[in-house]
Amino acid sequence: MPHRILAVLAALFALTVSTPAYAQGFFSDVYDYWSSGDMGEDMFNAVGLTGEDVVFAVDNPDKVWEAVKEDVSSGAAGERILNTVGLTPEDVAYAIDNPGEVADAVYQDWASGDMGERMLGTVGLTGQDLAYLIDNPGDFGQGMLDEITSGRAGERLGQFGVGLYEGGKEVVTETIYMAADGAASIYIVTAYDDYQGMFDAYQPNSMLVQAYKNSDDPGETTRQLISSFAQLPGEFRDAMWNDPQKAGHIVGSFAVPLATPKALSLANKTIAKTPGLRVLATDVRQLTPCALGKCPVFKDLTAVVESAPKPVKVTPKTPKTSKKPPPVDGPDPVMVDQVGKPSGTFTQRATEVPYKRPPEVATINPSKPFKLSKLDKKTDYLWVVDENGNVLIAPEHQALSGYAPHRPTPGVVKHGDLTPGPGGKTRGIARAGGELKWNPETNQWTLNNASSYSFNRHDRVMGNVENLKAVRQLLEDSGVEAGAIQLKNVIKPQG
């Protein structure tokens, strides 16, 4: 799927082009994607459904609807959604009572560039991709230079940006309302002219759920979805050349949903581990909590399972197709080994005992994806790779949460806190460690190996740049933007 997503971003660049040759390739790509059925499968997989589930749903609409109804009426769905995105019911109530403030927060998020950065990460663009696009302008038509120098491209991009903001904002706002309403199943499709009308005449659930609710024809839902997507390429193509703002609106509407398939996948996998619990279709967006200053990155998603009340059970019956669910990916063992062997460290400080996990720490692996845009550029972070190959990242100072007040520098987090030893008496075992800091000069995050887990190890092995490359690869395997991190080896060679 990443190359499809990349194609969406490439379309942004195509806005600056007067000839549509590249765009035709793009739409051909999208059409093939849709017509092959891959798009539909990816959509369902993103929300934790398999082909078997869909077949069952089509064949058993009554059972599915009963399950949806129970999920909604019990409040379980709403609570699950709120937990997933890191919001409390109080947050939602506040957002509903203060829509202007929330809209301002979303605007600031957009205007600051943070939203754009997340979106760039969402579509999987790498530094290499950008370099290629810049080095190969011929791919985008002969008119590109003229468009740029004349200012037309800038104007069109500006219009596109406005639409992008509008589309993203609508998704965020509707998600807040839907989550507040306890919607069990959310599909947000905003690429239609009458979307604003639909939004104004707000209904508790999305089009998909409405179809389930209101139609006697169980095939209506599928038809509605297919019809929606079938219209999209044509609408988008026309808008690209005639109405950049609308094109931006369409991209904005979909960029937000694209931001979270991995997070959703993780949530669904976690929930799926609970016997009898089945999420039919959940689609919660990353931008909502981030706009409210509560990015969900540090939420432990196991809490979703623990807080989920009565589970809803839907058992597939006589499936007509079989599609294996995607495997639960763990860290690449080869890469984990390249990070370093598990080792303790000679650095132990009596005044730091007990070593313990700080309240804010992200555990990152392929099934717990991560985006650098969730980090605060004004904050310094510590990282370690634990024995199992998870990358743990935490802010270095957490005094505000009352963490470790007894230490010489109250609230300071040490690498050993991320991997504490038995009883917290010592810094424990890790494969490597270092710092992650924003470099304003390069506009990149810098990953160094300034940690006792890299240069004061029990096994006397010294860290090197190859270890750092492996750490960066582990992060990239977990969804971190490729090429977004520069490496800095602070360890001098042995001699």
Partner 1 sequence: MLPSNPDELSALLDARQADGWDFDALLSLGVRSSRDRDAAVIDWLKAAPSTERLDMACGLLWGLWSAGPPPEERAAAFLDASDGVPLDTQTAYDLAVTLAKLLGGRLTEPIRARIAARMAAVTAARADDPMLDSLLQSLEDAM
Of 173 and 426, nearer to partner 1 (C-beta) is 426
CB of 421 to partner 1, least distance (A): 7
Site string for partner 1, 262-281 (x = CB under 8 A): --------------------
Helices (H), 434-493: 452-455, 465-477
CB of 449 to partner 1, least distance (A): 9
Phi-psi region of 304 (alpha: psi -120 to 50; beta: other; left: phi over 0): alpha
The DSSP secondary-structure symbol of 355 reads: P
Question: For residues 434-463, which are near partner 1 according to CB under 8 A?
Answer: 450-452, 455-456, 458-460, 462
User: What is the C-alpha separation between 175 and 449, in angstroms, rounded?
Assistant: 40
Of 50 and 489, nearer to partner 1 (C-beta) is 489
CB of 381 to partner 1, least distance (A): 15
Question: For residues 398-427, which are near partner 1 according to CB under 8 A?
Answer: 408-409, 412, 414-415, 421, 425-426
Of 190 and 426, nearer to partner 1 (C-beta) is 426
- The reply to whether 350 sits near partner 1 by the rule CB under 8 A is yes
CB of 494 to partner 1, least distance (A): 5
Of 285 and 414, nearer to partner 1 (C-beta) is 414
- The reply to whether 148 sits near partner 1 by the rule CB under 8 A is no
User: What is the C-alpha separation between 402 and 400, in angstroms, rounded?
Assistant: 5
Of 344 and 369, nearer to partner 1 (C-beta) is 344
Of the residues 86, 289, 344, 395, which one makes contact with partner 1 according to CB under 8 A: 344
CB of 377 to partner 1, least distance (A): 21
Of the residues 7, 211, 353, 468, which one makes contact with partner 1 according to CB under 8 A: 353
Extract the tokens encoding 434.
């270092």
- The reply to whether 371 sits near partner 1 by the rule CB under 8 A is no
Of 61 and 344, nearer to partner 1 (C-beta) is 344
CB of 489 to partner 1, least distance (A): 10
Of the residues 347, 444, 446, 464, which one makes contact with partner 1 according to CB under 8 A: 347
Of 328 and 491, nearer to partner 1 (C-beta) is 491
Which residues are CB-neighbours of 411 under 8 A, at least 6 positions away?
A: 397, 398, 399, 400, 401, 402, 403, 404, 405
Burial track 284-295 (b if 16+ CB lie within 10 A, e otherwise) = bbbbbbbbbebb
- The reply to whether 494 sits near partner 1 by the rule CB under 8 A is yes
Of 173 and 343, nearer to partner 1 (C-beta) is 343
User: What is the C-alpha separation between 138 and 143, in angstroms, rounded?
Assistant: 9
Of 170 and 417, nearer to partner 1 (C-beta) is 417
Extract the tokens encoding 91.
């947050």
- The reply to whether 3 sits near partner 1 by the rule CB under 8 A is no
CB of 376 to partner 1, least distance (A): 21
CB of 278 to partner 1, least distance (A): 47
- The reply to whether 491 sits near partner 1 by the rule CB under 8 A is yes
Site string for partner 1, 222-251 (x = CB under 8 A): ------------------------------
Of 275 and 408, nearer to partner 1 (C-beta) is 408
User: What is the C-alpha separation between 206 and 187, in angstroms, rounded?
Assistant: 6
Residues in contact with partner 1, total (CB under 8 A)?
31
Which residues are CB-neighbours of 166 under 8 A, at least 6 positions away?
A: 245, 248, 249, 252
Work out whether strand 444-448 and strand 485-488 pair parallel, antiparallel, or are unpaired.
parallel
Of 305 and 450, nearer to partner 1 (C-beta) is 450
Question: For residues 54-73, which are near partner 1 according to CB under 8 A?
Answer: none
**Of residues 223, 163, 221, the one with CA closest to residue 195:** 163
Residue 150's Cβ-count burial label (10 Å; 0-12, 13-18, 19+) is exposed
CB of 56 to partner 1, least distance (A): 55
User: What is the C-alpha separation between 26 and 33, in angstroms, rounded?
Assistant: 10
Sheet holding 444-448, edge to edge: 362-364, 391-395, 381-385, 432-439, 444-448, 485-488
Contacts within 8 Å (CB) and 24+ apart, 373-376: 373/114, 373/117, 373/118, 373/121, 374/290, 374/295, 374/297, 375/436, 375/438, 375/445
- What is the SS3 assignment for 491? coil
Q: How far apart are the first and last CA of the chain?
A: 48
Extract the tokens encoding 454.
């890299």
Q: Which residues bind partner 1 (CB under 8 A)?
A: 344, 346-351, 353, 408-409, 412, 414-415, 421, 425-426, 450-452, 455-456, 458-460, 462, 490-495
